[in-house]
Amino acid sequence: MALARALLSVSDKTGLLDLARALAARGVELLSTGGTQKALADAGVPVVGVETYTGSPEVMGGRVKTLHPRVHGGILYRRGADEADLERIGGKPIDLVVVNLYPFEATVASGAAHDHIVENIDIGGPSMVRSAAKNHASVAVLCDPSDYAAVLAEIAATGEVSLSTRKALAAKAYAHTAAYDAAISGYLSSLDDAGAREAYPRYLTLPTERAYTLRYGENPHQTGAFYVERGAPAGTLARAESLGAGGKELSFNNLVDVSAALEAVREFDEPAAVVVKHTNPCGVATGGELAGAYLAAREADALSAFGGIVALSRAVDVATARLLAETFLECVIAPSFDPGALDVLRAKKNLRLLATGAWLPHDHAALDVKRVSGGYAVQTRDASARGEATGGKVVTKRAPTPEELRALEFAWRVCKHVKSNAIVLAKEGRTTGVGAGQMSRVVSVQIACEKAGANAAGSVLASDAFFPFADGVEAAVAKGVTAVVQPGGSVKDADVIAAADAAGIAMVLTGARHFKH
């Protein structure tokens, strides 16, 4: 497929001039429109306007400029079959289409008026992309600037774009237009009769791209793959870079656990460490420096930490790396790793290292989606638990001390990330025991106290939902717990509060529940 002619019409002009200059240097005729044509002409790149090529001016305020037989005929023309038709309409073969679309999603996100949003629904762009993708036997289509360099390198090496590359670009192009249409249908179907946007559109499409296959699924007899969301931001697991030195690939369970650890560590601005086992935090701590935070998190439940997943909120330094290397771990995820830390950790066989880059600690997608039988259960993301304990209502005769209140706030944030029924025991800045996923809340209390051992004495307790009976509080008091934070709202609240008062402990009600299923 020798390149004679390319059509360039882009909203995102990243890499445009380098691409155009390289094509022009190879003698490729460039056709273009509007702002793209102006950018090329201003840069001294030879370009032919689409109006000149078609002989038809733009009309309807620019809404119609590329919807023309000479454009689509040139793109869809089948070599060796359609020569007569192409000649009859005065068209020429178009071998490369470089198009990306009006920024519809960005326009919606900007809060623009509805009429302006509608004007940013691209029509000609998707039509050209789809035409080129359909005719990938003869035409290459570029809709992502990140692909320009690889395609130029292939052209430089072979003089053409290979069929395998054209097929891959065509598949990507259809995914691009599908995601674009999904965004439009989602926006339009979220508007009520008055034009206000509802939280849940009638049509919810989840555009994704396979990042890689996994070592296996939840169990070894299952296969698995990791798909990333379109537009997933930096700082998420989707954009994490693997920095390991070979070894095992990630499994399904690894990914789920890493995600759970990352979500939990985002609760804290200060240096923080989270150790996760089977999606539950088994140790969480904060500190003045990362190494101390990790050591405290690990020692909160050293037995469970073996074979765990660790998330850290700061760049991993050598001191922290040496502590990490003392225990068998599956994976460590952090914003970055210092070079010396990488040297230490890469010596550990099969330890996976993931660097997310900088993140916004509370930056979450708008909707949380969970697969259920025959469909999806969709909800807004659980809001941050910050300040709910410190701003809660003291309902006991004794108020928590300042130290207890800080520990309650810490425990409450951790509790949000533990599977229900969730109980977290903590002292200021570190967990001492975690009880997760039990059918009875009092059993979760018993497990958390057992995990804490002697450290239960002087700990505070957070419960993700209300105590249905006083027995949970009584079990905690028996092990030396001094303060409790819980949502409240049980018909037995009076009995639970009375049990706390009888023991002389403090209790704070937040009025907020953080179930995690």
* DSSP assignment of 374-430: TEEEEEEPPPP-TTTTTTSEE-SSSPPPHHHHHHHHHHHHHHTTSPSS-EEEEETTE
Do 165 and 241 belong together in one domain? no
Structural contact between residues 16 and 33, judged by C-beta atoms closer than 8 angstroms: no
| H or E, element range at 50 | helix 50-54
Task: Kindly provide the b/e burial profile for residues 280-291, where b requires at least 16 CB atoms within 10 angstroms of the residue's own CB.
Answer: bbbbbbbbeebb
pLDDT at 114 over 80: yes
Which residue from 499, 486, 424 is spatially nearest to 456, judged by alpha carbons?
424
pLDDT at 22 over 90: yes
Burial class of residue 67 in the structure, from the number of CB atoms within 10 Å of its CB (0-12 exposed, 13-18 middle, 19+ buried): middle
Averaged pLDDT for residues 1-23: 92
Q: Alpha-carbon Rg of the chain, whole angstroms?
A: 29
pLDDT of residue 483: 97
pLDDT of residue 491: 95
We report the CATH number of the domain holding residue 183 as 3.40.50.1380
Do 184 and 252 belong together in one domain? no
pLDDT of residue 359: 76
User: Count of domains in the chain?
Assistant: 3
In a domain, 417, yes or no: yes
Averaged pLDDT for residues 324-330: 95
In a domain, 491, yes or no: yes
In a domain, 318, yes or no: yes
pLDDT of residue 246: 63
pLDDT of residue 194: 85
pLDDT at 365 over 70: no
Catalytic residue among 92, 134, 167, 172: 134
Q: Give CA–CA dist 477/492, Å, rounded.
A: 18
Kindly state the percentage of the chain with pLDDT values over 70.
Answer: 98
pLDDT at 407 over 90: yes
Do 241 and 161 belong together in one domain? no
Q: Give CA–CA dist 87/343, Å, rounded.
A: 64
pLDDT of residue 262: 94
Output the CA angle 414-396-391, nearest 5 degrees: 45
In a domain, 439, yes or no: yes
Final residue in a domain of this structure, among 327, 355, 383:
355
In a domain, 480, yes or no: yes
Catalytic residue among 13, 278, 364, 492: 278
Neighbours of 52 (CB within 10 A): 11
In a domain, 339, yes or no: yes
Q: Give CA–CA dist 36/6, Å, rounded.
A: 13
Contacts of 268 (CB under 8 A, 6+ apart): 286, 313, 361, 413
Final residue in a domain of this structure, among 325, 355, 385:
355
**Would you state the structure tokens that stand for residue 393, as one six-digit string?**
């209502």
Output the CA angle 359-365-371, nearest 5 degrees: 125
pLDDT of residue 281: 96
Kindly state the percentage of the chain with pLDDT values over 90.
Answer: 76
Q: Render pLDDT for 144-157 as a digit per residue (tens, 0 to 9).
A: 999 999 999 999 99
Mean pLDDT of the chain: 92
3-state secondary structure of 90: coil
In a domain, 169, yes or no: yes
Torsion over CA of 341, 346, 349 and 353, rounded to 10 degrees? Answer: 80
Do 61 and 124 belong together in one domain? yes
- The position carrying tokens 């420096």 is 289
What's the domain range around 163? 5-188
Do 105 and 172 belong together in one domain? yes
> Residue 57 — very low, low, confident or very high, per pLDDT cuts 50/70/90?
confident
Range name among 229-233, 250-254, 265-269 with the lowest pLDDT average = 229-233
pLDDT of residue 385: 86
> Residue 139 — very low, low, confident or very high, per pLDDT cuts 50/70/90?
very high
Task: Kindly provide the b/e burial profile for residues 162-172, where b requires at least 16 CB atoms within 10 angstroms of the residue's own CB.
Answer: eeebbeebbeb
> Residue 384 — very low, low, confident or very high, per pLDDT cuts 50/70/90?
confident
3-state secondary structure of 19: helix
Do 27 and 163 belong together in one domain? yes
Range name among 10-14, 80-84, 165-169, 365-369 with the lowest pLDDT average = 365-369
Do 156 and 71 belong together in one domain? yes
pLDDT at 360 over 70: no
Range name among 94-108, 353-367, 442-456, 482-496 with the lowest pLDDT average = 353-367
Do 163 and 304 belong together in one domain? no
Told to judge if 136 belongs to the known catalytic residues of this protein, a careful annotator would answer: no
Do 184 and 303 belong together in one domain? no
Do 264 and 328 belong together in one domain? yes
Do 66 and 171 belong together in one domain? yes
Q: Give CA–CA dist 95/132, Å, rounded.
A: 9
Told to judge if 278 belongs to the known catalytic residues of this protein, a careful annotator would answer: yes
pLDDT of residue 249: 82
State how far Cα 4 lies from the chain centre.
41
Beta bridge partners of 65: none
In a domain, 343, yes or no: yes
Q: Render pLDDT for 453-500 as a digit per residue (tens, 0 to 9).
A: 999 999 999 999 999 999 999 999 999 999 999 999 999 999 999 999
55: left (phi over 0), alpha (psi -120 to 50) or beta: left
Do 135 and 22 belong together in one domain? yes
Q: Give CA–CA dist 473/467, Å, rounded.
A: 8
Burial class of residue 350 in the structure, from the number of CB atoms within 10 Å of its CB (0-12 exposed, 13-18 middle, 19+ buried): middle
Averaged pLDDT for residues 247-259: 89
pLDDT at 364 over 80: no
The residue with greater pLDDT, 51 or 479, is 479
We report the CATH number of the domain holding residue 437 as 3.40.140.20
pTM of the entire predicted model: 0.86
> Residue 80 — very low, low, confident or very high, per pLDDT cuts 50/70/90?
confident
Which residue from 333, 361, 147 is spatially nearest to 238, judged by alpha carbons?
333
Neighbours of 231 (CB within 10 A): 12
Q: Give CA–CA dist 3/29, Å, rounded.
A: 9
Q: Render pLDDT for 415-465 as a digit per residue (tens, 0 to 9).
A: 999 999 999 999 989 999 999 999 999 999 999 999 999 999 999 999 999
Q: Give CA–CA dist 92/51, Å, rounded.
A: 14
Final residue in a domain of this structure, among 131, 160, 188:
188
Burial class of residue 404 in the structure, from the number of CB atoms within 10 Å of its CB (0-12 exposed, 13-18 middle, 19+ buried): buried
pLDDT of residue 197: 87
> Residue 392 — very low, low, confident or very high, per pLDDT cuts 50/70/90?
very high
pLDDT of residue 113: 93
pLDDT of residue 137: 94
pLDDT at 107 over 80: yes
